[in-house]
Copies of this chain bind each other. A is one copy, B any other.
């Protein structure tokens, strides 16, 4: 593509609300434009990048035996009513009525539609397993769309759905998708981790997320330095440590101590001159309308997802100051497990709290705490559970190795759904013995447009994007320094044609611009291989080649261009961990 003819409207300045680097660079490089909140138009370069990702997804899904279909974006309410999600999905499901006053929604996901499709057609075990996928535009009415393609309302997704005869079949389908996803992310040239994940509102038996590692990621993942273990922080199990206060549940009786103005753990530690690890932190929650006290050590972070899952709750929110006062009889900052006033309050403690005693906790009275608290002796704890976030000081829950916390961006998610949808929607088949059985399902999503953004979050510098070769809209940026020299212009045109003839996708900067502008734009747009033709090099029969990722330059002899280019290309691709194309 000749840049002089391409619609690539680069920008010098970007809107202030573009907070993350991928959003800024996608706008600056003319890849996308916002139409309205969280809704973007993909310009030619942006669309090419999205399609590169989509094509790799497609190839690997086909290889894994999945079949591509295309389901509608507009979905009727009655299907969502069958699974109860019409009621429970929340406001991300954009609902509307058609001209005949019937209820519809814009599809954020397609479990209902695909289950309806299959239950109408598949009647025998001989027709199973089936795995159907699509690459399609989805809509989720996010309350705070932001970060450009990272969290848009309208986005491109690959979603697949498997139907099996039994659990063993469903596990095999899940594994095939897990492997296909690994292949996809490897081929995309991204540093990624599959991690154990919470199943969230999709539900089902178990799931893995695929995370692209990037410092700017919204998710934290715990990875083991010794084994393959990796899990989302929401899910990573915190092992109970062996260290205790040493008295063996034989502390002196609990007694109140005055702690004027010490509302926070930090203030309390400073006031008493103790470490946070001897403090017992009491967090109060409104869980589906009922009061809950969650206890963790003062130096720990409570994990709300773990609390929610432990309680099988729909909705967990921090108690308001008014609720805190009503439930404790004290101002905020002095809650503790002893003597809570809320009738029927449920007390859940992190399981490491059971080992130890001698705690300092709030006394449910202003400016007062309790010392020498022993939960076994002094409090009726309803349950002990894994409630806290894992830390880098914790051991790997699988092998005991060292844990490292990293930031990641969720770009894929595989779920074993089990019977959740097939049972609700009566998707059954007749088995070998003519008995009716419910199909066992899985679902598997990849955020196609989000991957483009996450590739940039992972790979960029101050000058612009560093696209992996498999996502780059073009593999090569060819910069002509012809200026007014028709001979150089002709040599550049010839080289462009030669590369295209070799099957290389080239963005050819043939514009009448200064070299500085062209170099800056080539770095900004981020094609992995840059070729610069003109000046002294051309006179010496060479062309300058730059690897955008490393910045390494080399000269390719024009006399032996095909071989020298092929060799350099191999080097660049290997740097990205990719095979030869």
**Cβ proximity bits A129-152 to B, threshold 8 Å, 1 near / 0 not:** 010100001010101000000000
Shortest CB distance A93–B (Å): 10
Which residue of the partner chain, among B43, B67, B72, B97, contacts A40 with CB atoms under 8 Å? B72
Contact B94 A69 (CB under 8 A): no
Max count, chain B CB within 10 A of own CB: residue among A36, A76, A143, A153: A36
Chain B CB within 8 A of A39 CB: yes
Chain B CB within 8 A of A434 CB: no
Shortest CB distance A145–B (Å): 10
A42 to B67, CA, bound (A): 11
Chain B CB within 8 A of A44 CB: yes
Chain B CB within 8 A of A96 CB: yes
Chain B CB within 8 A of A98 CB: yes
Chain B CB within 8 A of A248 CB: no
Contact A42 B65 (CB under 8 A): no
**Cβ proximity bits A34-77 to B, threshold 8 Å, 1 near / 0 not:** 01100111111001001000000000000001011111111110
Which residue of the partner chain, among B41, B73, B99, B117, contacts A69 with CB atoms under 8 Å? B41
Shortest CB distance A73–B (Å): 6
A72-B154, A121-B9 as given contacts; A67 in contact with B91, CB under 8 Å: no
A43 to B133, CA, bound (A): 10
A177 to B445, CA, bound (A): 38
A40 to B75, CA, bound (A): 10
Which B residues lie within 8 Å of A137 (CB)?
73, 137
Shortest CB distance A427–B (Å): 14
A43 to B67, CA, bound (A): 9
Where chain A touches its partner, the secondary structure class is mixed
Which B residues lie within 8 Å of A117 (CB)?
33, 35, 41
Which B residues lie within 8 Å of A91 (CB)?
99
Contact B70 A50 (CB under 8 A): yes
A94 to B97, CA, bound (A): 8
Which B residues lie within 8 Å of A96 (CB)?
94, 96-97
Copies in the complex: 2
Shortest CB distance A60–B (Å): 17
Chain B CB within 8 A of A6 CB: yes
Shortest CB distance A91–B (Å): 4
Chain B CB within 8 A of A5 CB: yes
A113 to B113, CA, bound (A): 29
Closest to A43 in B: B69
Closest to A90 in B: B99
A71 to B41, CA, bound (A): 4
Contact A74 B43 (CB under 8 A): no
Contact B72 A130 (CB under 8 A): no
Closest to A1 in B: B67
Shortest CB distance A103–B (Å): 11
Which residue of the partner chain, among B9, B43, B76, B113, contacts A41 with CB atoms under 8 Å? B113
Contact B65 A5 (CB under 8 A): yes
A1-44 CB contacts (< 8 Å) to partner B: 5-7, 9, 33, 35-36, 39-44
Contact B75 A7 (CB under 8 A): no
Contact A69 B98 (CB under 8 A): no
Closest to A77 in B: B36
A170 to B36, CA, bound (A): 29
Shortest CB distance A385–B (Å): 34
A41 to B228, CA, bound (A): 40
Chain B CB within 8 A of A219 CB: no
Which B residues lie within 8 Å of A68 (CB)?
44, 47
Chain B CB within 8 A of A354 CB: no
A116-B35, A141-B98 as given contacts; A47 in contact with B69, CB under 8 Å: yes
Closest to A156 in B: B70
Chain B CB within 8 A of A200 CB: no
A41 to B107, CA, bound (A): 13
Shortest CB distance A17–B (Å): 16
Q: Which residues in A have some Cβ–Cβ distance to B below 8 Å? A: 5-7, 9, 33, 35-36, 39-44, 47, 50, 65, 67-76, 91, 94, 96-99, 106, 113, 116-117, 120-122, 130, 132, 137, 139, 141, 143, 153-154
A-B contact pairs, 19 of them (CB 8 A): A5-B65, A6-B67, A9-B121, A33-B120, A33-B121, A35-B76, A35-B113, A35-B116, A41-B72, A42-B70, A43-B69, A74-B139, A74-B153, A91-B99, A94-B98, A96-B97, A98-B141, A99-B143, A137-B137
